[in-house]
């Protein structure tokens, strides 16, 4: 198959469905070991902290929360809770826990266990409490009035203010429920001794290197097909590619995009196409001259030849962008694609209108890994063609985010996926809380408070149609202000061995691999 030269995700899916039709017709089979190549592996699986995507992949495989997320429909679906009710005012959530479930250590999954686990970040007296468990904040704990066990299998969560995302955020890795026995026995070291209730359980963990997980025979939805999964970290993309081609790993998201054309010719490896859930963009600092001038930010936008960025920088694996909100998100506004057009003459007109003398010296910061260096080179060429003098600032990941946090970047490129399929996960980037440590430093925008108000209204509004209108207005304001200049919606390649079947591409695209239904053909 040639490189993808279309920006229509659903056309791509149709092509791959046709090509893989004979595979999907096979009967599912139990057994076997799948080796997954990850870009990192932390030293713990404590869900209160970030441990790299390798750690997330393990937690998503061993853990389960009250609900799960359907990344294709954007809806919450039953997890440990088989059903729930929400009060008319949107403040009280009543969860009905499945009966008869057990944690990996044999302890029963009941309402008290759920409350104990969910209360961990807000109960300083818990033996497993660690100061600064920042990932738990994604659960909305600051907005919880109370959480209690009503009876053996009923949990009631009461909020201070309505939160339209509350159900979905419970599906995040930091929403996975931990056995109370493990919390008591291991305390602050529970991340090295994790017992949850997901489809797999940990058999062996080598911190920083790999985790071996095995099928949970007692999983409520039935034993997964795979006997064993090894999630192994590699130092770089080249190592992952070498392991993939040598047959040492069976699945990865992290092989270089430039290898796709060659791998598509292989009989032992296939490339599946992910959904457009990840937004690639340039952050333009509103406090750093000359980007404090909206005309210059708009000039950067029109200077970009996105078709080349996508075809050359991303090997065709992206759709043309429209806004911070993605095409599968509630409230997505297609109209933004009209602004994401290549118009170098317009860019030069905007520079002239701004009265800024050319060449305009400007720094472009990026992480020196994956596809970022290639994109940075292409972006620099586009900007220099209209009057900018670009200095490329290649940084390791830690240095990149340190510089962003210090507010010293001018232009910086990065991405935003979301661990839950809701527009708030992307819109929150523009909240005033945390703005002074962001790529855009958007607290300096004249419309910063208005944008922040829309974000607040979006999360407080339950009706989907009303929320869609709020996010449409949000997108419109951002397109006027241009704190972000969009590159594309990534449709990432998913690299799998030919015997790996039933890969769930939607969640995997967002970095939330789901191995419950994956099986190996013999």
How far from chain centre, in Å, is Cα 311? 23
For residue 297, with 0-12 CB atoms within 10 Å meaning exposed, 13-18 middle and 19 or more buried, which class applies?
A: buried
CA distance 395 to 492: 23
Q: Provide the mean pLDDT of the chain.
A: 93
Contact between residue 442 and residue 430 where contact means Cβ atoms under 8 Å apart: yes
| Element spanning 191, H or E | none
Domain(s) of CATH 3.40.190.10: residues in the chain: 28-63+198-274+493-522
Between 464-481 and 294-303, two packed helices, what is the crossing angle to 10 degrees? 100
Mean predicted confidence (pLDDT) in 22-31: 72
Q: Alpha-carbon dihedral of residues 367, 370, 372, 377, nearest 10 degrees?
A: 120
The residue assigned the tokens 């759920």 is 114
**Sorting pLDDT into bands at 50, 70 and 90, what band is 7?**
very low
Mean predicted confidence (pLDDT) in 176-192: 98
Identify the three-state secondary structure at position 147: strand
What's the pLDDT score for residue 417? 84
CA distances from 28 to 400, 517, 518 (A): 44, 9, 9
CA distance 128 to 187: 4
Whether 63 has a pLDDT exceeding 60, the answer reads yes
Domain(s) of CATH 3.90.76.10: residues in the chain: 64-188
What's the pLDDT score for residue 25? 56
Q: What is the pLDDT of residues 69-124, one digit of tens each?
A: 999 999 999 999 999 999 999 999 999 999 999 999 999 999 999 999 999 999 99
What's the pLDDT score for residue 5? 35
DSSP-assigned beta bridge partners for residue 497: 269
Q: Which CATH architecture has domain 278-490?
A: Roll (3.10)
The reported pTM is 0.90
Contact between residue 293 and residue 334 where contact means Cβ atoms under 8 Å apart: no
CA distance 381 to 184: 57
Q: What is the pLDDT of residues 467-479, one digit of tens each?
A: 999 999 999 999 9
The vertex-490 CA angle with 10 and 238, nearest 5°, equals: 120
Contact between residue 364 and residue 413 where contact means Cβ atoms under 8 Å apart: yes
What's the pLDDT score for residue 109? 98
Identify the three-state secondary structure at position 312: helix
CB atoms under 10 Å from CB of 150, counted, come to 13
Whether 2 has a pLDDT exceeding 60, the answer reads no
**Sorting pLDDT into bands at 50, 70 and 90, what band is 522?**
confident
CA distance 353 to 79: 56
Contact between residue 250 and residue 38 where contact means Cβ atoms under 8 Å apart: no
Between 464-481 and 448-460, two packed helices, what is the crossing angle to 10 degrees? 160
DSSP 244: H
Q: Which CATH class is domain 64-188?
A: alpha beta
Identify the three-state secondary structure at position 216: coil
Pick the CATH number of 28-63+198-274+493-522 from 3.40.50.970, 3.40.190.10, 2.40.50.140, 3.50.50.60: 3.40.190.10
What's the pLDDT score for residue 418? 81
- Both tokens of 132, joined, read 């600064």
Whether 149 has a pLDDT exceeding 90, the answer reads yes
Whether 20 has a pLDDT exceeding 90, the answer reads no
What's the pLDDT score for residue 209? 96
Q: What share of the chain is helix, strand, coil (3-state, %, to 5)?
A: 35, 20, 40
Q: What is the pLDDT of residues 152-169, one digit of tens each?
A: 999 999 999 999 999 999
Domain(s) of CATH 3.10.105.10: residues in the chain: 278-490
Q: What is the pLDDT of residues 241-266, one digit of tens each?
A: 999 999 999 999 999 999 998 998 89
**Sorting pLDDT into bands at 50, 70 and 90, what band is 26?**
confident
What's the pLDDT score for residue 23? 42
Taken as a whole, the chain contains a residue count of 522
**Sorting pLDDT into bands at 50, 70 and 90, what band is 379?**
very high
What's the pLDDT score for residue 24? 46
Q: Which residues fall within 8 angstroms of residue 393, CB to CB, at 6 or more apart?
A: 363, 364, 365, 366, 403, 409
CA distance 470 to 454: 6
Q: What is the pLDDT of residues 218-237, one digit of tens each?
A: 999 999 999 999 999 999 99
Whether 10 has a pLDDT exceeding 70, the answer reads no
Least confident of 353-367, 438-452, 508-522: 508-522
Instruction: Give buried/exposed letters for 301-327 (b at 16+ CB in 10 A, else e).
Output: bbbbbbeebbbebbbbbbbbbbbbbbb
């Amino acid at each position: 198959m040639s490189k993808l030269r279309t920006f229509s995700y659903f056309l791509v899916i149709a092509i791959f469905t046709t090509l893989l039709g004979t595979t999907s017709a096979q009967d599912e089979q139990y057994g076997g070991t799948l080796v997954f190549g990850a870009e990192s592996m932390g030293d713990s699986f404590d869900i209160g902290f970030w441990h790299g995507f390798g750690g997330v992949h393990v937690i998503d495989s061993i853990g389960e929360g009250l609900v799960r997320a359907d990344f294709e429909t954007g809806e919450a679906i039953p997890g440990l809770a088989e059903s729930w009710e929400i009060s008319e005012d949107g403040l009280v959530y009543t969860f009905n826990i499945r009966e008869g479930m057990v944690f990996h250590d044999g302890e029963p999954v009941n309402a008290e266990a759920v409350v104990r686990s969910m209360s961990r970040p807000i109960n300083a007296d818990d033996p497993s409490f660690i100061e600064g468990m920042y990932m738990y904040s994604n659960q909305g704990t600051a907005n919880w009035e109370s959480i209690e066990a009503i009876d053996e299998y009923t949990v009631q969560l009461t909020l201070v203010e309505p939160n339209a995302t509350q159900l979905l955020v419970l599906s995040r890795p930091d929403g996975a429920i931990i056995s109370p026995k493990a919390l008591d026995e291991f305390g602050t070291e529970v991340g090295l001794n994790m017992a949850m209730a997901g489809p797999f359980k940990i058999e062996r963990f080598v911190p920083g290197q790999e985790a071996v997980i095995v099928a949970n025979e007692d999983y409520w939805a039935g034993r997964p097909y795979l006997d064993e999964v090894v999630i192994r970290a590699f130092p770089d993309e080249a190592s992952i590619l070498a392991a993939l081609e040598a047959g040492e790993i069976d699945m990865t998201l992290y092989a270089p995009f430039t290898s796709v054309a060659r791998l598509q010719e292989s009989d032992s490896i296939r490339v599946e196409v992910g959904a457009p859930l990840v937004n690639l963009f340039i952050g333009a600092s509103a406090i750093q001259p000359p980007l404090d001038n909206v005309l210059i930010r708009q000039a950067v936008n029109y200077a970009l030849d996105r078709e080349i960025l996508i075809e050359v920088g991303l090997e065709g694996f992206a759709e043309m962008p429209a806004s911070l909100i993605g095409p599968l998100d509630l409230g997505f506004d297609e109209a933004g694609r009209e602004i994401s057009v290549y118009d170098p003459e317009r860019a030069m007109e905007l520079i002239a209108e701004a009265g800024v003398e050319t060449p305009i010296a400007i720094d472009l910061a990026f992480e020196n890994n994956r596809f970022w260096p290639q994109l940075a080179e292409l972006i620099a060429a586009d900007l220099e063609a209209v009057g900018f003098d670009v200095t490329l600032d290649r940084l390791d990941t830690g240095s990149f985010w340190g510089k962003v946090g210090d507010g010293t970047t001018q232009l910086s490129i990065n991405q935003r996926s979301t661990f839950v399929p809701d527009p708030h996960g992307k819109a929150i980037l523009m909240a005033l809380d945390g703005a002074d440590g962001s790529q855009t430093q958007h607290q300096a925008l004249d419309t910063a408070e208005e944008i922040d108000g829309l974000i607040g209204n979006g999360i407080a509004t339950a009706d989907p149609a009303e929320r869609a209108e709020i996010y449409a207005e949000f997108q419109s304001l951002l397109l006027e202000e241009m704190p972000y200049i969009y590159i594309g919606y990534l449709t990432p390649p998913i690299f799998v061995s030919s015997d790996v079947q039933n890969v769930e591409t939607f969640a995997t695209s967002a970095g939330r691999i789901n191995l419950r239904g994956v099986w190996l053909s013999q």
